[in-house]
Amino acid sequence: MTRHLTVVDHPLVQHKLTLMREKETPTAVFRQLLREISQLLAYEVTRELPMTTKRIETPLTEMDAPVLDGKKLALISILRAGNGLLDGVLELIPSARVGFVGLYRDEKTLQPVEYYFKVPAELGDRMVIAVDPMLATGNSSAAAIDKLKEAGAVNIRFLCLLAAPEGVARMKEAHPDVPIVTAALDERLNEVGYIMPGLGDAGDRMFGTK
Ligand code: URA
């Protein structure tokens, strides 16, 4: 049984994350580090991809060699910051199918509202990996997973860079069947919903916006 939360406590991941947290790290470096970390995290989140074997010939002999089985996995970017994680994971798994979920927070109700939803066909037959760098309150992540389940997804994982305990708890309550893989579990959310100590606004830092 997969754990609900996996923190990838690997020296390379932790070193790169520290560089990303530093406020003076320029946009281009931040983006490159995110790309590199996302590939290391992808290694962990795809650990349970189904395998089969195929008969091959090496220069010396024949063998039954392991290959991935089943339908191509689906990577779902939760807009807009998800795109930063998506790029790196796609480099590692170029044949993955890709979808996008766009949500914004209604200022009055504070509830997530969908403005874009486009996902690959036959979602129910694929491993689905939803990517969003910051698992903060967990409200938009849980809502995005709701939409993916409504679209037929049954085998879902959530990949993020940083998680707050509040977000992990929210996801566990809403989607206990969705394992979370992250580079770090930070201390808490501040009063305006930022992860502490965190790295600031991930979208702004990766795109150079304010
Ligand atoms: N989203 C971010 O980009 N940063 C946070 O700290 C929380 C949510």
Contact at 8 Å (CB) between 13 and 45? no
In this prediction, residue 112 carries a pLDDT of: 86
In this prediction, residue 70 carries a pLDDT of: 87
User: Number of helices (H) and strands (E), helices first, in the chain?
Assistant: 6, 14
User: Annotated binding residue at 1?
Assistant: no
**Residue 94 belongs to domain spanning:** 5-207
Residue nearest to atom 3 of ligand 1 (CA): 201
Beta strands in 31-182 (DSSP E): 51-57, 62-68, 74-78, 97-105, 112-118, 127-131, 134-135, 155-159, 162-163, 180-182
In this prediction, residue 124 carries a pLDDT of: 97
In this prediction, residue 7 carries a pLDDT of: 98
Which residue of 201, 205, 206 sits with most ligand 1 atoms within 8 Å of its CB, as the best mutation to test the pocket? 201
Among residues 3, 9, 58, 109, the one annotated as catalytic is 109
In this prediction, residue 111 carries a pLDDT of: 79
Report residues of the chain scoring pLDDT below 50. none
Query: Domain total for the chain?
Result: 1
Q: What is the ipTM of this complex?
A: 0.95
Cβ(195) – ligand 1 distance below 6 Å:
yes
Separation of CA 136 and ligand 1 centre (Å): 6
Q: What is the CATH number of the domain that holds 126?
A: 3.40.50.2020
User: Annotated binding residue at 9?
Assistant: no
Per-residue DSSP letters for 143-188? HHHHHHHHTT--EEEEE-SEE-HHHHHHHHHH-TTS-EEESEE-SE
201 is catalytic: yes
Cβ(162) – ligand 1 distance below 6 Å:
no
Atom of ligand 1 nearest to the CA of 201: 3
In this prediction, residue 23 carries a pLDDT of: 97
User: Annotated binding residue at 144?
Assistant: no
Which residue of 80, 134, 207 sits with most ligand 1 atoms within 8 Å of its CB, as the best mutation to test the pocket? 134
User: Annotated binding residue at 127?
Assistant: no
Cβ(163) – ligand 1 distance below 6 Å:
no
- CB neighbour burial string for 169-201, b if at least 16 within 10 angstroms, e if fewer: ebbbeebeebbbbbbbbbeebeeeebbeebbee
In this prediction, residue 105 carries a pLDDT of: 78
Q: What is the pTM of this model?
A: 0.95
- State how far the alpha carbon of 93 is from the alpha carbons of 8, 38, 87, 121, 129, in Å: 19, 11, 10, 18, 12
Cβ(136) – ligand 1 distance below 6 Å:
yes
In this prediction, residue 143 carries a pLDDT of: 95
In this prediction, residue 185 carries a pLDDT of: 98
105 is catalytic: yes
User: Annotated binding residue at 169?
Assistant: no
